[in-house]
Structure formats: C-alpha cells, structure tokens
C-alpha cells in the first residue's frame, strides 16, 4: 500500500492491519501502547539536561553496568504500560535478569523483548540513544507466558524496531512489509511518516567499529578492517570510519546512509567471548529491520542472525550488519578463515 508522507504512525499501523482481514487489532494495540511509552521516554530524555534526572541512580543492573536514572525511567515506563496492555503474555528487558510477567488477567498473545535505553552511557554528553523492541507470537500454553515465548529465532518476529532520541525522535519499525520511519512532532505529540519504505543503500564506503579493540580482534576481523583501510582509489578505498558508540545511532546512520557496522568476537574480555551485543533485544530486531530494508545481518562466522535459536534471554552474539555488498564482502573474510 502506498505510504504517504505526513500520515500519522497510528494511521499507518491501521492501514497495515486492514491488509490482514482476520486481525483482531491486538498487534495494533500493542504497537500503539509501545508508541505511547516512547513518547513519554522521549519527553524525559529531552528534559534530562534540565530535570534532576541525569547521572547515576546508584543502582547496578544485571549487566554490572551503572544504571542511569533515565535507563531506570525508560525501563519502568515500558514495563508499567505493557504489563497491563492485554496484548502480551511476558516481557524481557536488558535491565532485568529474569522474565517479566504481565498483570494477572491481562495475558495476551504476543511477547515483548526490549532494550529500554541503549547507549545510556552517552546520556550525559547528549549523544543520541535509543529504545529497541522485538515482538513474537506466544508459543506457550497456560495462563502466564514463559521464556519459551521470548526464546524464538529472529525470523519468527512479528514486528521489530527502534526509537532513536536524537536531534529529533524517530521511530523506525517493520512488521515484515518493509521499513518505515516516523518523526515525532513534540508540539502535537504525534509521529508523522517521514521516511516511507526505507531501503539501505546496497553499498556505501563507511565502516563502523571500535578500532581501539584492533589488538584484541581475531585475524579475520583484522584482515577485513585492514582491507577497508587500504589505499586503492579504484575500489573506493579507504572507507570512512564512523563510530558513535551508541548502537541505535550507529545503526540508524547505517540504515539511512549505508555502510557496515561490526561488533565481532574479540579477546578483550573472557566474560564476553561472543562480543558485547545481545541477540534477543539488539541484534535480532535490528537484523529484521535491515533485511526488510534490503541489507544483511550475520555473525562473524557467517551465520544469519535471524536463524539463531536463542538459548538464554541475555545471550550475546557477534554482529556484522549493514549494506548487502559490504556484509557480503565481510562474509568472504570471515568464512574464508573458517574453511
Ligand atoms: P491480531 O489478531 O490483531 O493480533 O493480528 C493477527 C496478525 O495479523 C498479526 O500477528 C500480524 O501478522 C497481522 N497484523 C495484524 N495487525 C497488523 C498491523 N497493524 N501491522 C502489520 N501486521 C498486522
Ligand atoms: P564499546 C552502549 O553501551 C552499547 O551497548 C551499544 O549501544 C554500543 O554499540 C556499544 O555498547 C559500544 O560498545 O565496546 O564500543 O564501547
């Protein structure tokens, strides 16, 4: 269905529902509730510099990271709203170790995994941060949902997306029918369609990686990055490095401008042998978005992110994601070594 700039996200979601005659409106309701939470978080993030909400909350989350007040606020905002929306049976959050139940009597037919405020270490320096979400259909029976409803491979996601809180607040999501971007007009509190049918450029000379880990990388990663940096004007090399250190900001730039983002395995920390990023609420939702926009998302041994069967909620995974041509090229380096 043609997407017309300027329509509201609620109108876009309703148009999509109408393409599914048997739909009851539950997915629509879920998405709209999530969008209300995003508006509340956006208002808080944009006030953070003024309100006394910057800095540490004095708590440490299960990742062993200092919980910033805004992290906590975002987590609570999504939890409180979604536990009583009636559309989900269970949740998982980057900020909490175990599964999060919904209120008794409010169990619905979807599950929700989310990173409430990714990149929060950048809050105090006004760098863009974001919320990432992933929605699956419940597979468990019985009243309350279970981890089984969350531990599903990414290719089974019903919807996925993110909200980036930057110079403007932009919602980017997919339900499997392309990728659409909506910009929040805070003066009216509405998201308006600003990026219809997003397609990631098939090729772009940008790479996004934390180069300070060069000496921790395994050989294939080092060889690939060195290749991108070689001087060869005929092939458009060297590539330009763009790295913000905030996944949603780095990914969003990649999606719009093209390029490749890498967070591969490294020898840096024994407790993160699979790299730093999480499968359930970071890699898998972004992988659905990028594939729907014509890009690719793989691990550093060539596995498709969306094919990985999750074992645990906070499972980490190496992530190579972006423009098709660049990920194809990376795959040659990473799988050549595996042979
Ligand atoms: P529902 O009964 O409303 O949960 O919808 C049933 C199925 O129809 C969903 O799992 C989706 O596959 C599809 N669907 C319903 N509403 C939407 C929507 N707003 N956007 C995209 N797909 C939808
Ligand atoms: P590094 C932020 O803490 C985060 O989880 C992602 O947003 C970001 O991509 C990554 O960590 C940055 O990690 O090791 O480069 O500082």
User: Of 71 and 153, which is predicted with more confidence?
Assistant: 153
| Nearest ligand for residue 14 CA | 1
pLDDT of residue 218: 95
- Tally of CB atoms within 10 A around 282: 26
Domains 9-195 and 206-338 share a fold: no
pLDDT of residue 27: 98
| Nearest ligand for residue 63 CA | 2
Distance 20 CA to ligand 1 centre (A): 6
Q: Do the beta carbons of residue 25 and residue 17 sit within 8 Å?
A: yes
Q: How far apart are CA 136 and CA 119, in angstroms?
A: 24
Minimum mean pLDDT among 114-118, 175-179, 194-198, 273-277: which range?
273-277
Beta strands in 237-335 (DSSP E): 240-241, 260-263, 296-298, 319-322
Q: Do the beta carbons of residue 19 and residue 1 sit within 8 Å?
A: yes
Query: Residue 193 — φ and ψ, nearest 5°?
Result: -60, 120
Spell out the residues 6+ positions from residue 250 whose beta carbon is closer than 8 angstroms to its own.
208, 242, 243, 244, 261
Q: Which of ligand 1's atoms lies nearest the C-alpha of 14?
A: 19
Distance 276 CA to ligand 2 centre (A): 7
pLDDT of residue 295: 98
Distance 125 CA to ligand 2 centre (A): 15
Statement: residue 204 has pLDDT above 60:
yes
Average confidence (pLDDT) over 42-58:
72
Please list every protein residue whose CB sits less than 6 Å from any atom of ligand 1.
13, 16-17, 20, 23-28, 158, 175
pLDDT of residue 251: 98
Q: How far apart are CA 37 and CA 30, in angstroms?
A: 11
Average confidence (pLDDT) over 40-59:
75
Q: Please report, rounded to a whole number, the percentage of residues in the chain having pLDDT higher than 90.
A: 84
pLDDT of residue 52: 58
Q: What confidence tens digit (pLDDT) does each residue in 26-41 have?
A: 999 999 999 999 999 9
User: ∠ at Cα 324 (128, 196), nearest 5°?
Assistant: 55
pLDDT of residue 50: 60
**3-class SS of residue 74:** helix
Q: What confidence tens digit (pLDDT) does each residue in 157-191 have?
A: 999 999 999 999 999 999 999 999 999 999 999 99
pLDDT of residue 3: 63
Whole-model pTM over 0.85: yes
Question: Which residue matches tokens 């007009």?
Answer: 185
pLDDT of residue 49: 62
Angle separating helix axes 219-229 and 324-338, nearest 10 degrees: 140
Statement: residue 126 has pLDDT above 90:
no
DSSP class per residue in 19-37: TSTT--SHHHHHHHHHHHH
**In 3D, which of 118, 111, 75 has the Cα closest to residue 93?**
75
Domain boundary assignment for the chain? 9-195, 206-338
Residue 243: which pLDDT band, with cuts at 50, 70 and 90? very high
- Tally of CB atoms within 10 A around 31: 25
| Nearest ligand for residue 249 CA | 2
Residue 69: which pLDDT band, with cuts at 50, 70 and 90? confident
Distance 179 CA to ligand 2 centre (A): 24
CATH architecture of the domain with residue range 206-338: 3-Layer(aba) Sandwich (3.40)
Calculate the average pLDDT of the chain.
Answer: 93
Distance 35 CA to ligand 2 centre (A): 25
H or E segment to which residue 4 belongs:
none
Statement: residue 289 has pLDDT above 70:
yes
Please list every protein residue whose CB sits less than 6 Å from any atom of ligand 2.
118-119, 121, 210, 245-247, 250, 276
Kindly indicate whether the domain formed by 9-195 is annotated with CATH number 3.40.50.2300: no
H or E segment to which residue 187 belongs:
none
Average confidence (pLDDT) over 71-87:
96
pLDDT of residue 55: 62
């Amino acid at each position: 269905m043609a997407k017309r700039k300027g329509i509201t996200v609620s109108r876009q979601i309703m148009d999509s529902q109408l393409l599914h005659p048997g739909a009851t409106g539950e997915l629509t309701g879920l998405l709209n509730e999530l969008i209300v939470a995003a508006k509340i978080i956006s208002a808080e993030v944009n006030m953070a510099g003024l309100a006394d909400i910057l800095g540490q909350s004095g708590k440490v989350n299960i990742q062993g990271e200092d919980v910033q007040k805004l992290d906590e606020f975002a987590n609570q905002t999504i939890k409180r709203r979604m536990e009583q929306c009636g559309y989900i049976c269970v949740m998982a959050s980057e900020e909490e170790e175990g599964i999060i139940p919904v209120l008794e009597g409010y169990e619905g037919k979807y599950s929700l995994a989310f990173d409430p405020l990714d990149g929060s270490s950048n809050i105090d320096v006004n760098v863009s941060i974001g919320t990432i979400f992933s929605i699956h259909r419940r597979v468990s029976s019985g009243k309350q949902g279970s981890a089984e409803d969350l531990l599903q491979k990414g290719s089974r996601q019903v919807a996925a997306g993110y909200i980036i809180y930057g110079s403007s607040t932009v919602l980017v999501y997919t339900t499997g029918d392309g990728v659409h971007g909506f910009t929040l007009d805070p003066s009216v509190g509405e998201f308006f369609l600003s990026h219809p049918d997003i397609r990631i450029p098939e090729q772009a000379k940008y790479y996004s990686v934390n180069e300070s880990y060069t000496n921790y990388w395994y050989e294939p990663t080092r060889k690939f990055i060195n290749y991108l940096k070689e001087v060869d004007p005929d092939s458009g090399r060297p590539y330009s490095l763009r790295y913000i250190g905030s996944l949603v900001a780095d990914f969003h730039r990649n999606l719009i401008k093209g390029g490749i983002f890498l967070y591969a395995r490294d020898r840096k920390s024994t407790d993160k042998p699979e790299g730093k990023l999480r499968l359930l609420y970071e890699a898998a939702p972004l992988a659905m978005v990028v594939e729907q926009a014509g890009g690719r998302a793989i691990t550093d041994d060539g596995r498709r992110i969306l094919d990985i069967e999750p074992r645990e909620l906070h499972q980490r995974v190496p992530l190579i994601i972006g423009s098709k041509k660049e990920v194809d090229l990376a795959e040659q380096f990473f799988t050549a070594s595996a042979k």
